[in-house]
């Protein structure tokens, strides 16, 4: 895929979308009458929607196997919840290829009931932990928060204190560590004999138990103190920082409706916004023996906190630290010579757009002086092996037009990386997650999940000899299998989810739909929900569920049987969701569309996708389109009306970050860049509020601590000043949310009125009639 320079989209995308809207055919849509329910039909739809919200709970069974590995690491148990909340417990011994009931539930329930003054149902027995002691003819069980010992020969049980039970030793898991350290006021030397501490801004050295010590620095003061102290492993060097502190600027929220008071309460807290200053750290190294201090020859660290220090194995004079530059366009691993403060760049990645800071991965292999590093430097997210001493890339471990999604673990003995990826398999949804392992030199790729075109979730045995693979798609029920890690061979099929109860309620599974994006080449993937009472002789309005935040992709890939999208479709809508350009988990070029361009939100791709859906299905009415979203989706949904009024007709925007200068610093500078420029203003929903043409409902919780409520209030203020009609729902006491049950109800009523052209139920009147009937 070849994407133009993202800046061109800001210049031409209105023209592009207008062209799309004019060129996509509408002939098929005109041949069918619009769905418009009468009051009786509408009332029935609301009742069915409410009923289904309840009836669908528990309608899918055996959707996942959650293994509980026993202390031997060779067997596990799991629980199935069956129809009518019945339970069963199974034990699996992979080495013997056996799966058997864990125990006789009737006998265990009876014994527990006698041992504890409570009734335990045999059919619905709920056990939260199980440990087998065959040599003692007993099973240790936990239920109702109590522990019991069950005698398998006598069939009796007794209540016991919480036992100290052995656990299987896990191997192979590698957790990504933070690249920033925690503040340390004092720092104890590696031999535990000496303490470095800060007093009046300067560093002192003394015995661990002493209250006084030798002064090491003299130029510190309370306004520009030294701090963040850490020792070299041999205790010779002390790394420290001259700190120029900046207090976070404050935001306030008002609790208007607190109980037991007639006054609102204001709460204020620190909240960094784009452009705000950070505390900065100037790195120094002190030779503890001589007292000599050297300033590290690199820029001050003025973004995030002081970094983690990693001393080179077998070398007491060199260490490295990681630095992300503000603006997210440069990432470095910097080596420091402690004797002189001289620096060298081991990794130095630069980009014209952005480096996704949260997804930078580094794993250090000190024994071999190597670093496993994940980067998008070749246009796709891949793994590299770096020589920590020279900074040279030894080899690219993975390569190709596909994406490494996550590092599961590093096997240093076998020199293998275990990872998740998507897009490797041709003719498959490029977002499906698969699992692999590969050698450090890029050879020996093992595909652990190639047996099914689906998205996979693996759970390994403690020693990683076996794994349980649960895989599914939005149109295929979950299957759980036990496989052998060495060659991915199947040992046994554990469970296949039972979705018959759900389908018996009249639902069809959502459709997976793909269409070309704005460039006419790139596939855009999404899902389509239809009402269960779908009439193929009618055409239905579209409602898009939007969240275009660049931090991820958002269309569900694993099986999900029911949720808000299907529930909303029950009222008479085609409800859709797709991932447009600018979202994550595709190529770097696909992602880069968002750069300094969040107002784009993938709209040209979304509109093309919905037009293609309407061209294929005459029941899809792309002349009546609504959109809703929360948080970044709230920004996107209002942006749909402001920047694409020729396509979108109605929007519900909940707790939107409508101006990227008002929202949190770390998220917005990641995508919109630093310094804050005119592009922030040009893409603001506040700045563009006067462009509103469609119908709008704004929802905000008054005590939102994620996106400040004033983001929504500023939009409302701008709309009022522009003399625009809109609805505003402020929910007292609610935080970052779509409005909860009340907000979701108002959202559905809003779309019923604006897109179906009928009035929603008059609930107050109904309530009054009911009360009158009851004589109240």
Pairing of strands 265-270, 250-255: antiparallel
Q: Summarize pLDDT for 31-40 with one digit per residue, the tens.
A: 899 999 999 9
Position 143 pLDDT exceeds 70? yes
- C-beta separation of 665 from 274 below 8 A: yes
Please name the residue ranges forming H helices in 202-248.
none
**What integer is the mean pLDDT of 560-582?**
97
Asked if pLDDT for residue 765 goes beyond 90, the answer is: no
Q: What is the pLDDT of residue 525?
A: 98
Domains of the chain: 6-38+514-525+537-557+579-763 (3.40.50.1820), 68-160 (no CATH), 180-359 (2.140.10.30)
Pairs from 642-645 (Cβ < 8 Å, separation ≥ 24): 642/685, 642/688, 642/689, 642/691, 642/692, 643/14, 643/599, 643/603, 643/688, 643/691, 644/17, 644/603, 644/607, 645/691, 645/692, 645/693, 645/694
Burial class (CB in 10 A: 0-12, 13-18, 19+), 130: buried
Give the pLDDT score at 184: 64
- Least confident residue range of 200-209, 289-298, 704-713, 763-772: 763-772
Predicted confidence (pLDDT) at residue 739 exceeds the cutoff of 50: yes
- Provide the pLDDT for residue 181: 65
Task: Tell me the C-alpha distance between 758 and 751, whole Å.
Answer: 9
> Which of 10 and 208 is assigned the larger pLDDT?
208
| Residue partners of 538: CB distance under 8 A and separation at least 6 | 32, 33, 34, 35, 619
Angle, vertex CA 443, rays to CA 441 and CA 448, nearest 5: 125
The answer to whether residues 648 and 626 touch, using CB atoms and an 8 Å cutoff, is yes
Whether pLDDT at 10 is above 80: no
On the question of pLDDT at 260 being above 60, the answer is yes
Output the pLDDT for position 770: 55
- What percent of the chain is modeled with pLDDT above 90? 89
Is the CB of residue 775 less than 8 Å from the CB of residue 560? no
The mean pLDDT value for 107-136 works out to: 95
Q: Please tell me whether residue 108 adopts helix, strand or coil conformation.
A: helix
Given a cut of 70, whether residue 8 has pLDDT beyond it is no
| Whole-number pLDDT of residue 2 | 46
Q: What CA–CA distance (Å, rounded) separates 756 from 260?
A: 43
Q: What is the pTM of this model?
A: 0.92
| Cα–Cα distance for residue pair 229/219, rounded to 1 Å | 16
Q: What is the pLDDT of residues 402-422, one digit of tens each?
A: 999 999 999 999 999 999 999
Residue 3 scores a pLDDT above 70: no
Could you read off the pLDDT of 154-164 as tens digits, one per residue? 999 999 999 99
**What pLDDT does residue 169 have?**
79
Query: Per DSSP, which regions of 315-356 are E strands?
Result: 318-324, 330-337, 343-350
> With 70 as the cut, is the pLDDT of residue 768 above it?
no
Residue 186's pLDDT band, with cuts at 50, 70 and 90, is confident
Using DSSP, state whether 703 is helix, strand or coil: coil
pLDDT confidence tier of residue 774, bands split at 50, 70 and 90:
very low
**pLDDT at position 21:** 41
Task: Determine which helix (DSSP H) or strand (DSSP E) holds 287, and give its type and residue range.
Answer: strand 280-287
pLDDT digits (tens, 9 = 90+) for 445-472: 999 999 999 999 999 999 999 999 999 9
771: pLDDT strictly greater than 90 = no
Give pLDDT, residue 209: 78
The whole-angstrom separation of Cα 200 and Cα 222 is 6
Q: Provide the CB-side half-sphere exposure for 453 (13 A, CA).
A: 8
Output the pLDDT for position 175: 67
pLDDT in tens, 585-611: 999 999 999 999 999 999 999 999 999
Instruction: List the single range of 212-216, 424-428, 458-462, 468-472 with lowest mean pLDDT.
Output: 212-216
């Amino acid at each position: 895929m070849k994407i133009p320079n993202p800046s061109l989209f800001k210049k031409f995308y209105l023209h592009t979308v207008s062209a799309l809207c004019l060129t996509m055919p509408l002939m098929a849509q005109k041949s069918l009458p619009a769905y418009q329910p009468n009051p009786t039909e509408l009332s029935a739809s609301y009742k069915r929607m409410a009923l289904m919200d309840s009836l669908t709970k528990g309608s899918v069974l055996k959707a996942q196997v959650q293994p509980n590995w026993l202390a031997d690491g060779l067997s596990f148990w799991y629980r199935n919840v069956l129809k009518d909340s019945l339970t069963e417990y199974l034990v699996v011994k992979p080495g013997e290829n056996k799966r058997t009931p864990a125990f006789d539930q009737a006998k265990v329930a009876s014994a527990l009931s006698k041992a504890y003054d409570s009734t335990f149902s045999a059919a619905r027995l709920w056990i939260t932990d199980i440990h087998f002691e065959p040599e003692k003819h007993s099973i240790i069980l936990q239920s109702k928060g109590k522990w019991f010992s069950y005698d398998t020969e006598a069939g009796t049980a007794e209540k016991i204190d919480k036992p100290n039970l052995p656990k299987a030793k896990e191997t192979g898991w590698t957790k990504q560590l933070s690249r920033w350290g925690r503040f340390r006021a004092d720092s104890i030397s590696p031999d535990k004999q000496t303490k470095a501490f800060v007093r009046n801004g300067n560093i002192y050295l003394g015995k661990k138990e002493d209250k006084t010590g030798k002064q090491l620095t003299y130029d510190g003061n309370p306004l520009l103190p030294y701090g963040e102290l850490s020792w070299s492993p041999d205790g010779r060097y002390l790394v420290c920082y001259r700190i120029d502190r900046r207090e976070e600027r404050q935001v306030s929220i008002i609790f208007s409706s607190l109980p037991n008071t007639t006054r609102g309460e204001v709460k204020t807290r620190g909240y960094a916004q784009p452009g705000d200053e950070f505390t900065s750290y100037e790195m120094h190294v002190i030779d503890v023996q001589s007292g000599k201090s050297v300033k590290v020859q690199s820029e001050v660290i003025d973004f995030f906190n002081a970094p983690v220090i990693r001393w080179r194995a077998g070398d007491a004079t060199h260490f490295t630290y990681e630095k992300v530059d503000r603006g997210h366009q440069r990432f470095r691993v910097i080596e420091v010579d402690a004797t002189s403060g001289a620096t060298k760049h081991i990794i130095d990645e630069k980009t014209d757009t952005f480096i996704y800071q949260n997804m930078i991965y580094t794993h250090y292999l000190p024994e071999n002086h190597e670093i496993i590093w994940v980067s998008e430097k070749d246009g796709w997210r891949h793994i590299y092996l770096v020589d920590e001493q020279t900074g040279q890339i030894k080899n690219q471990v993975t390569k190709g037009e596909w994406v490494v999604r996550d590092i599961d673990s590093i096997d240093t003995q076998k020199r293998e990386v275990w990872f998740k990826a998507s897009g490797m398999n041709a003719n498959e949804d490029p977002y499906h997650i698969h699992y692999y392992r590969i050698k450090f030199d890029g050879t020996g790729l093992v595909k652990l999940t190639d047996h099914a075109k689906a998205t996979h979730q693996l759970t390994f045995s403690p020693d990683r000899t076996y794994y349980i693979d649960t895989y599914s798609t939005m149109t295929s029920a979950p299957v759980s299998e036990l496989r052998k890690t060495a060659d991915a061979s199947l040992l046994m099929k554990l469970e296949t989810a039972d979705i018959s109860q759900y389908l018996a309620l009249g639902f069809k599974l959502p459709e997976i739909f793909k269409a070309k994006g704005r460039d006419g080449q790139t596939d855009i993937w999404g899902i389509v929900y239809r009402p269960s009472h779908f009439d193929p002789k009618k055409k239905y309005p579209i409602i898009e569920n939007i969240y275009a935040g660049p931090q991820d992709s958002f269309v569900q890939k694993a099986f999900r049987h029911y949720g808000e999208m299907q529930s909303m479709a029950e009222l008479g809508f085609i409800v859709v969701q797709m991932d447009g350009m600018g979202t994550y988990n595709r190529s770097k070029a696909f992602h880069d569309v968002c750069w300094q361009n969040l107002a784009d939100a993938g709209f040209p791709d979304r509109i093309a996708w919905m037009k293609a859906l309407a061209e294929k299905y005459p029941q899809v009415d792309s002349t009546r389109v609504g959109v809703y979203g929360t948080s970044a989706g709230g920004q996107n949904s209002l942006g749909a009306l402001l920047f694409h009024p020729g396509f979108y007709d109605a929007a519900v925007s909940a707790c939107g970050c409508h101006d990227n200068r008002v929202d949190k610093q770390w998220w917005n500078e990641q995508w919109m860049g630093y310094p804050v420029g005119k592009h922030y203003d040009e893409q603001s929903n506040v700045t563009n509020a006067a462009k509103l043409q469609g119908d709008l409902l704004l929802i905000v919780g008054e005590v939102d601590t994620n996106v400040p409520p004033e983001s929504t209030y500023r939009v409302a203020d701008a709309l009022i000043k522009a003399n625009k009609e809109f609805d505003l729902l402020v929910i007292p006491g609610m935080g970052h949310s779509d409005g909860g049950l009340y907000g979701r109800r108002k959202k559905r009523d809003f779309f019923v009125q604006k897109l179906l052209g009928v009035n929603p139920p008059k609930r107050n009147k109904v309530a009054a009639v009911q009360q009158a009937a009851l004589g109240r």
